[in-house]
A = this chain, B = another copy of it.
Amino acid sequence: MPSVTAEIVIAVDAMGGDQAPDMVVRGVSLARKRFPEVRYLLFGDEARLEPLVKGMPEVAEVSEIRHASDAVSAEAKPSQVVRTGRKSSLWLATEAVKRGEAAGVVSAGNTGAFMAVAKIILRTLPGIDRPAIATLLPTQRGESVVLDLGANAECNANNLVEFAIMGEVFARTVLALERPTVGIMNVGSEAGKGTDSVRGAATVLGDSTLPIHFHGFVEGDDLAKGTVDVIVTDGFTGNVMLKTAEGTAKLYSQFLRNAFGSSLLSKMGYLLARPALNKVRTRTDPRRYNGAMFLGLNGVAVKSHGGTDELGFANALGVAVDLVREGFNESIKGEFEKVQVPQVPASV
């Protein structure tokens, strides 16, 4: 196996995910075609990884196996992993970023454990109190970035302001939008609506001299409309929102499947419209949007959905490559050094 010398190196937790490690290695194979300049460090059980990698020469060419004697289960408590998981593939892969051997880490394993380990090993960027989980979602206009998706169940106004800055920098650097719009999720668009946290954050973002194009409050249906480029919310609401959107899309496509199957005519109709309908399927394929980013850490960390397949995992690897390539963390650091983030009094 050649030594890892190329420009971008990604550390991979090869043992995370329902179908790991097979799915992970197949994902690397797919990613290899898309990002020929990227190299991978595969952390996991050598005895299981070696034969897999040997069977895929295109993976062997760009990867190096690093043995990890332990793996974090999907059910493990984050606090326990932090105490006893130092020999796990998740821990060692994340540590590779800290040591500078890799520019980013990707795992399809236990989300809570990954966030806890990443916070301890990578630490938050200067000026940032709490990291957030962000993702892209399809909208009528294109796609929007949404954060937080569950790293912080409860957020105060200052947390939301930080998320807004991070989301804006992401949209500017990685999505290459010139002046992305930012909205705060609320139960109505009027100024007096919602909790103290969202009102406090809106006051700061609206009044301050931060270089942010603040749109104001948005509501649940603004996600699909694509009203703003960045949607800011607490991790509880964001998590429920994301899963509600996924569930509704599935429900709708299930209703459609039933409808198309309900008569001979509708079956024929389906056959005629199939090429066009397949485009919709591709457009809304959750695997396309796989790869949630942990923003605000001293290193790139991307969480793949645990139940995804190799296509989804390759997308998650692509998200990590994008963040590294576009220098997202350097931009964030620059932003927080440049601006004085106004603080909302603790009572708000």
Contact = CB atoms under 8 A, between A and B. Distances in A.
B246 A221 contact: yes
A154 interface: yes
A277 B270 CA distance: 11
A185 interface: yes
Interface stretch (A113-121, A157-165, A248-256, A327-335): A248-256
Copies in the complex: 2
A224 B248 contact: yes
A260 interface: yes
A203 interface: no
A280 B251 contact: no
A275 to B, nearest CB: 7
A187 B225 contact: no
Interface string A226-255: 000000010111011111111111111111
Nearest to A250: B224
B235 A187 contact: yes
Interface stretch (A47-55, A57-65, A174-182, A261-269): A261-269
Given A244-B220, A252-B284, A276 B266 contact: yes
A77 to B, nearest CB: 7
A260 B243 CA distance: 27
Given A239-B187, A255-B280, A247 B221 contact: yes
Interface string A260-303: 10110110111111111101100110000000000000000000
A240 B241 contact: yes
Interface SS majority for chain A: helix
A273 B276 CA distance: 14
Interface in A4-55: none
Contact of A262 (B192, B254, B256, B276): B276
A187 B240 contact: yes
Given A224-B250, A260-B273, A219 B243 contact: yes
- Of the candidates A246, A255, A275, the one having the most CB atoms from chain B within 10 angstroms of its own CB is A255
Interface residues of A, number: 65
Contacts of A348: none
Contacts of A283: 255
Interface in A182-225: 185, 187, 190, 192-195, 219-225
A240 to B, nearest CB: 4
Contacts of A260: 273, 276
A192 B77 CA distance: 9
Interface in A120-144: 138-140
A154 B256 CA distance: 37
B265 A272 contact: yes
Contacts of A284: 252, 255
Interface of A: 75, 77, 138-140, 150, 153-154, 185, 187, 190, 192-195, 219-225, 233, 235-237, 239-256, 258-260, 262-263, 265-266, 268-277, 279-280, 283-284
Given A138-B251, A220-B239, A236-B237, 11 more contacts: A75-B190, A220-B242, A220-B247, A221-B244, A221-B247, A223-B247, A241-B241, A249-B252, A263-B276, A265-B276, A268-B269
Query: What 7 pairs between A and B have smallest CB-CB spacing?
Result: A220-B243, A269-B273, A269-B272, A221-B247, A224-B247, A224-B251, A220-B244
